[in-house]
Copies of this chain bind each other. A is one copy, B any other.
Amino acid sequence: MKLKEMARRLDCELQGDGETEISGAAGIEEATESEITFLSNPKYAPRLKDTRAGAVIVAPGTQTARPALFSKNPYYTFAKAIELFYEPPKPIPGIHPTAAIAETAVVGEDHSIGANVVIGEGARLGKGATLYTGTVIYPHACIGDDFLAHSHAVVREYCRIGDRVILQNGAVVGADGFGFAPRQDGSLYKIVQSGIAVLEDDVELGAYACVDRATVGETRIARGTKIDNLVQVGHGSRVGEDALLAAQVGLAGSSRVGNRVMLAGQVGVAGHLTLGDRVIATAQTGIARSVEAGSRISGTPEMESALWRKNYILMQKFPEMVRTLRKLERRVEELERLLEEKKGS
């Protein structure tokens, strides 16, 4: 595709040779002369000189000698550019003969129901549903329009899902929460998990992400939140809008997570805590107390990221500090001894 055609489709101002032929999109380090790349973070501006890319998507005002498309949001425009060159395989319309749909289930129009899909009694799906091989919808689940479920995804009984929700392979909505009441003899009695899990519109769950059903009431993931692979959301939790939970994050039961919170990989949140809006936690942070909106935290237990980094640097000198402290002790002893002598003299 010619760069001038891309500029037109992506609604960007063009700089340089519009006849440049672009055949794909790539990262700034991997791009070849026939590919387009992008620069979003000014921190990486020096890489703009070294890239072999045939064209770049940059913010207005960025200095570059290359053919360029200017966009206020280069990352977003790059995402759109990828779509010009790639389309995932189209799901096969209709219902595969091996699918088993209960008589009382309702499935909207324009669907693609793959092999071995099972939809239980009383379940409802809106229009435009794509269910890949082996997706399982338990009885009485209720799902909105344009649902996309990859193979082995599961929606458990009574759970509710909004429009345009995506489940990657094996994501489970509404497995039983982890609730047991100890009996007098120490054995554990299973507490029936009578609540549900709710995903609002535009939520995405990664492969094998688990959003447990609540003991009573509901677990809820609010509009637009994206959850990565192998994440655990404990029963009764509530995650706000447009939040990002990276891979292997774990929220214990009854967590309250605000809007636009970003939890990096392997972060853990202890039970019954509240994270305010826009909290950012770096990878592996172990959150043991509630956190105010806008905080940036790190460490286990969590502290301000700035303090954590400072402590880390100091820790490198910890052995030296201990030696200094011991030496100081001896020097002070010596001083005390000398002064005592003087006094005596």
A109-128 interface (Cβ within 8 A of B): 114-116, 118, 120-121
Contact B204–A207 (Cβ < 8 Å) = no
Q: Are the CB atoms of B208 and A178 closer together than 8 Å?
A: no
CA distance A293 to B82 in the complex (A): 35
Inter-chain CA distance A309–B20, complex, in Å, is 57
How many copies altogether? Answer: 3
B136 touches A75 (CB 8 A): no
Find out whether the CB atom of A204 lies under 8 angstroms from the CB atom of B230. Answer: no
In the assembled complex, the Cα of A245 lies from the Cα of B78 at a distance in Å of 32
Residues of B within 8 A of A121 (CB): 89
Contacting A175 at CB < 8 Å: which of B87, B88, B168, B189? Answer: B168
Chain B CB within 10 A, most for which of A133, A191, A324: A133
Decide yes or no: A229 and B216 within 8 Å by CB, A88-B192, A307-B316 being known contacts: no
Q: How far is the CA of A315 from the CA of B154 in the complex (A)?
A: 44
A328 within 8 A of B: yes
Pair A151/B150 contact, Cβ less than 8 Å: no
A232 close to chain B: CB less than 8 A: yes
Q: Is the CB of B321 within 8 A of A311?
A: no
Contacts of A138 in B (CB 8 A): 89, 132, 151
Q: Is the CB of B314 within 8 A of A310?
A: no
Given the known inter-chain contacts A82-B192, A175-B150, please indicate yes or no for A210 contacting B183, CB distance below 8 A. Answer: no
One digit per residue, 1 when the CB lies within 8 angstroms of any chain B CB and 0 when it does not, for chain A 257-271 equals 000100011101010
Question: Which residues on the B side are within 8 Å of A98 (C-beta)?
Answer: 98, 100, 116
Q: Is the CB of A265 within 8 A of B247?
A: no
Q: Knowing A168-B175, A178-B228, A186-B242, say if A335 contacts B339 (CB, 8 Å).
A: yes
Q: Do A215 and B82 touch (CB < 8 A)?
A: yes
Which of the listed residues A114, A118, A254, A336 has the most CB atoms from chain B within 10 Å of its own CB? A118
